[in-house]
């Protein structure tokens, strides 16, 4: 993961050079959500090969989600920093005003940074929840694997 210096902020980029932003975080998380949302209660007979393949697939996606969650958190923190700096700059400029006017001026002047921060928080929370969903899915596949193993053991014991 690379960071590129840009004025007083750091722009985060993915390994492929794409800028880390809300849209890219949500896109990577959505890919993982699709993997973790497969129904496991559809009555399909599972084999050991299926279990191994599914665990390999979800493991690959889960390892990527660790990076997505990390980048989402970094993006959220950077947005928080930008918001606080914008508030501080405006606070200095309106120090001569009464407190109520200062507050109103600060809120209005930092509306864009606040919206960006809120979007970053939402993207981080979404990515984190998808990470939890992957963990749950992995556990369910492992449970199926145990059932498959027990079934095969029982069948081989009957021969």
pLDDT tens-place values along the chain, 159 residues long: 333 333 445 678 887 888 889 999 999 999 999 999 988 888 888 999 999 999 999 999 999 999 999 999 999 999 999 999 999 999 999 999 999 999 999 999 999 999 999 999 999 999 999 999 999 999 999 999 999 999 888 877 665
47 DSSP 8-state letter: -
Q: Is 29 exposed, middle or buried (0-12, 13-18, 19+ CB in 10 A)?
A: buried
Beta carbons of 67 and 18 less than 8 angstroms apart: no
The whole-number pLDDT of residue 158 equals 63
Comparing CA positions, the residue from 30, 38, 7, 121 lying closest to residue 73 is 121
Provide the whole-model pTM. 0.81
Helix, strand, or coil here: 19? strand
Domain boundaries of the chain, sorted by first residue: 2-33+60-158
The whole-number pLDDT of residue 2 equals 38
The whole-number pLDDT of residue 110 equals 97
Beta-bridge mates of residue 3: 12
């Amino acid at each position: 993961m690379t960071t590129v210096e840009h004025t007083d902020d750091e722009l985060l980029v993915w390994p492929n050079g794409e800028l880390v932003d809300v849209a890219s975080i949500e896109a990577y998380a959505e890919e993982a959500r699709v993997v973790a949302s497969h129904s496991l209660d559809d009555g399909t007979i599972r084999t050991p090969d299926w279990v191994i393949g599914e665990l390999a697939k979800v493991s690959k996606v889960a390892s990527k989600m660790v990076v997505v969650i990390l980048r989402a958190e970094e993006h959220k923190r950077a947005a928080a920093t930008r918001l606080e700096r914008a508030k501080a700059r405006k606070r200095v400029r309106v120090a001569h005003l009464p407190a109520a006017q200062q507050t109103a001026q600060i809120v209005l002047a930092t509306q864009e940074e606040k919206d960006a921060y809120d979007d970053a928080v939402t993207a981080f929370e979404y990515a984190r929840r998808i990470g939890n969903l992957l963990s749950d899915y992995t556990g369910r596949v492992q449970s199926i694997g145990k059932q498959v193993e027990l079934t095969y053991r029982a069948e081989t014991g009957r021969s």
